[in-house]
Amino acid sequence: MITLSALLHLRADADFTSALSTSELENHIREIDERLGTLAQIRMRSDIGAVGYRSETDHFDVIELTFDQEAVVDQIVVVPVIHSNPSDGFMPFCFPVKFDLELFDRNGIPIKTVARYQRAENELAGIAPLIFPFPPTKAAGIRINITQFSIRELDKIPALELSEVMVFEGNVNVALGCQVKTTSNPARWSRHRRPEFLVDGAVPYMMDCPGDKSSAGTISNSAVDFQQSYTVDLGAIYPIDRIQLHALEQSTSVPSPFAGDMGIPRLIRIEASLLPDFSDSIMIAEKEHRSHYQTNPILFYQFEETKARYIKLIAVEPYIHDTGKLRRVGGERLSRARTGFAEAQVFSGSENVAFGKKVSANFIHSPTNWRRSLSALTDGLNYYGRIIPIREWMSQLAERHQLETNRPHLLAELNNRYAQQKAHLKLLGWLLLLCILLVFFAILIGHITRLREIAKLKESFAADMHDELGANIHVIGLLADMAKDAIDSPDELVDAVDEIRAATERTSSSIRNYTKKQFGISEGMLLQEIERNASRILAGVDYTVHVDGERYVESIDTHRQMNLLLFLKECMVNVSRHSSATKCDIRLRCDDKRTDLSVTDNGKGMEGTPTRDLPPSLKRRAKILRGAAKVTSSESTGTCVTLSMKTHRWSIFN
């Protein structure tokens, strides 16, 4: 079972996705969707600001970041420059194809290479930050050895651009504001693409983290000559070393009426104090934000560690907002000083000690402006949701990009599986219909077979009754004639009467067998039955019986043997009754394929009957045997009846 964390490090290609079961694919997609709901969105900035760094070399560059002091670092984040592509939307721009990340000590000597990056020539880098974690290592800086640039689409020449590089010691970005050296030519640097912008903390994203709540922040509205300030009571004395101020949302309108610096003072001073009246205050930071390239959605202020309980944010030169209105007196345009932020974070180590703390201001805050309350300055929220540490934010953006990259591959494979299942179900549906039809036809054929069997049974019963009983009655008649002739001879008369008695018993037995449907001859008894019946029916006629292939005769099933015997008996009865013959020759030839029977007499023939016509009783019996029977007859040569049939007969209707 592959976990979601493992899925982040796998490329969701055909080999990987095809190895997963359908349930695993469904589980992965569900886990990805659930995880995406907890991750920060990749929301692009829409303000004016510094882009980052552009190399002015042709094929390679070395970027060296030297920290303010040695630190034990464990993660490097490289953020690409983002461009809007007309066909593909937001895309990384001039991100390097190949580079190494190397740590060095205070003397500039390499410690170790912690990461190597290389992508395929036609592979696009993502728009999310690239995260390079490694074991904690003490270093004085990092060196980025870029050995292969990407090809710029516009002019097809090698180019390199990077938005930001962060190096983390825990949650602290130790590369923020550090010294940057490159091999690029400084004379060709532009205002918004400079080496220092690699470490100013500005990235092309807005912090948009999911949460149940959001905040519009707080902002003043005072006269331009009034110096506004906010004071945060930390509730206790803390050693602090950095402050982060999150800018207000500029506007929900498109396009935005503001450049991205609404509420940010042109000159801000930050003071710290142990006393509420700031009688012992010290200035811990002062920074200008006069240019658009000096303002960002998150403003960073670093300073020497200072113990403080109270923090004051002073707008020495506030942001001046032209209201567009005219004064009632003099007709001059009315301007107002606006100072405000979405959040103020004060850090002691990695902890924001200002979270949820009390905020006061030196101006009157309108009680009707409830959406801009002073408490919004430390509620841990911005316009989009929660505010999280920068390191966690970068990691979430990278994780979101990886999951959103893998998800379409998994979904495509899952949809392909569903399509296959649908095709299989459709095939199974047709097979089920075919089975139903087969069952229907099997029932129909079975019904037809039973009807045919009943018809055959009736036909066989009628034929048997005709042949067997007719033959037996004929024998009884002959014996009666013999008894009549032997009236004066008691011994012969007794024998004749005994024969009549035996014939009637055989007739009675035959009727019982027909009633019980016990057709057939005992195994090995056909030839004996032929001989026995010939001796009775052809009494007074000189007959001969010739059999060729006795072992094949015994292989005929007993039911067909019985029908063959009845056919022969009918022929012998006809010879005895109608032919006035003195001789009769019976021949039975049998092999593994065919059985042929012929009965020839020297009688008077079939007077007035075409040679091709058989008596109905013989036709009926031949049909039951599924054989071919014919008769030839003349007054001079007598009559010959022949029957030809297969030795073994197979049929689904048998």
34-48, 146-160, 450-464, 544-558: least confidently modelled range = 450-464
pLDDT band at 360 (very low <50, low <70, confident <90, very high): very high
Nearest CA-CA partner of 184 in 68, 51, 64, 97: 64
Residue 653 has pLDDT above 60, yes or no: no
Of the two residues 14 and 450, the one the predictor is more confident about is 450
Q: Which of 116-125, 162-171, 634-643 has the lowest mean pLDDT?
A: 116-125
* Domain spans in the chain, listed from the N-terminal domain onward: 48-200, 208-387, 448-646
- Is residue 94 packed enough to be buried (19+ CB in 10 Å), middle (13-18) or exposed (0-12)? buried
Distance between CA 84 and CA 87 in Å, rounded? 9
The identity of residue 15, as a single letter, is D
What is the per-residue pLDDT across 390-435, written as a single tens digit (0 to 9) for each? 999 999 999 999 999 889 989 999 999 999 999 999 999 999 999 9
Better-scored residue on pLDDT, 151 or 302: 302
pTM score of the predicted model: 0.68
What CATH number labels 208-387?
A: 2.60.120.260
d(CA 314, CA 271): 8
Report percent pLDDT > 90 for the chain. Answer: 50
Task: Give strand pairing partners of 320.
Answer: 337
CB 290 within 8 A of CB 276: no
Top CATH class of 448-646 equals alpha beta
The closest alpha carbon to 80, from 10, 164, 174, belongs to 164
Tokens 């045997």 belong to: 625
518 band by pLDDT with thresholds 50, 70 and 90 = very low
Query: For domain 48-200, is the CATH number 3.40.30.10?
Result: no
Same fold, 48-200 and 208-387: yes
Please tell me the distance from the alpha carbon of residue 160 to that of residue 87, in angstroms, as a whole number. 22
For the chain, give percent helix, strand, coil, nearest 5.
35, 35, 35
Does residue 31 carry a pLDDT above 70? yes
- Amino acid sitting at position 545: V
pLDDT in tens, 251-292: 676 777 777 788 999 999 999 999 999 999 999 999 999 888
Q: Cα separations (Å) of 64 from 11, 165, 194, 316, 639?
A: 31, 11, 14, 35, 125
pLDDT, tens only, 300-340: 999 999 999 999 999 999 998 876 665 554 556 678 888 99
Separation of alpha carbons 640 and 602, rounded Å:
9
Count how many Cα atoms sit within 13 Å of the Cα of residue 316 in the half-sphere of its side chain.
13
